Amino acid sequence: MGQIISLSQITKFYKVGTEIVKALRGVDTVINKGEYVAIMGPSGSGKSTLMNIIGCLDTPTSGQYILNGTDVSKRTDDALAEIRNKEIGFVFQSFNLLPRYTAKENVMLPLIYSGYGKQERISKAEATLESVGLSDRMLHKPNELSGGQKQRVALARALVNKPSIILADEPTGNLDSKTSVDIMKLFNDIHQLGNTIILVTHEEDIALHAHRIIRLLDGNVASDVINENPVINGN
């Protein structure tokens, strides 16, 4: 289906006091359009750093990152912000919803930065919330929603701009086991529609929903394998 992400010799070094921390040490990988990939690794493995670079939240110290045909390795902060809004839909463990906004208003936010008019923002937000099963919660604020409903709002917000990639960071980390299963079913449905999903997790049972699992260790790719039997709808 063609490459959507190409990472070539990606490094990321941080200076902490007098010490240089080598978070990534030359990562090479390619992710194709329509893939469902989990990135795993223990604390300190570099998975969060890699997620930040893939999500254009940070730039590598060296190496090349091609996202959907564009070299984003050395872009300015403003250019990265524009790329993020267009190319990447984020889903976070902590939901990151604005507490004073309704579900619909939260989902409408990315559309404001994309220049859509008010009526189009409303119709797109309503349609996307309906697609994640929240047609009856559009006017509720986050404190009136369960954890699972908040994550569905966050997922709708990630989807509303029709991004190239859904990037999910520990999306079930704040949810109970039953709600986690429901959310992972929703991710599977989204993947079935042709979306590219990159899931960052330390939970083995969550990673097994993906069709490919990349494991990091000490800033390097330790393994990259196809999951022959991904979990589908909890089975």
What are the pLDDT digits (tens) for 112-126?
888 899 999 999 999
Looking at the domain assignment, is residue 68 inside a domain? yes
Q: How far apart are CA 181 and CA 135, in angstroms?
A: 20
What is the H or E stretch that residue 158 is in?
helix 147-159
Mean pLDDT of the chain: 94
- Domain housing 59: 3-94+161-226
Looking at the domain assignment, is residue 21 inside a domain? yes
Looking at the domain assignment, is residue 165 inside a domain? yes
Looking at the domain assignment, is residue 155 inside a domain? no
- Alpha carbon 220 to its chain centroid, in Å, reads 20
Using the Cα atoms of residue 172, residue 176, residue 179 and residue 184 in order, give the sign of their dihedral: positive
Q: What is the average pLDDT across 61-67?
A: 96
Domain containing residue 45: CATH number: 3.40.50.300
Which of 25, 31, 12 has the alpha carbon at shortest distance from 200?
31
Q: What is the average pLDDT across 79-87?
A: 90
Q: b/e per residue, 82-105, with b = 16+ CB within 10 A?
A: ebbbebbbbbbbebebeeeebbbb
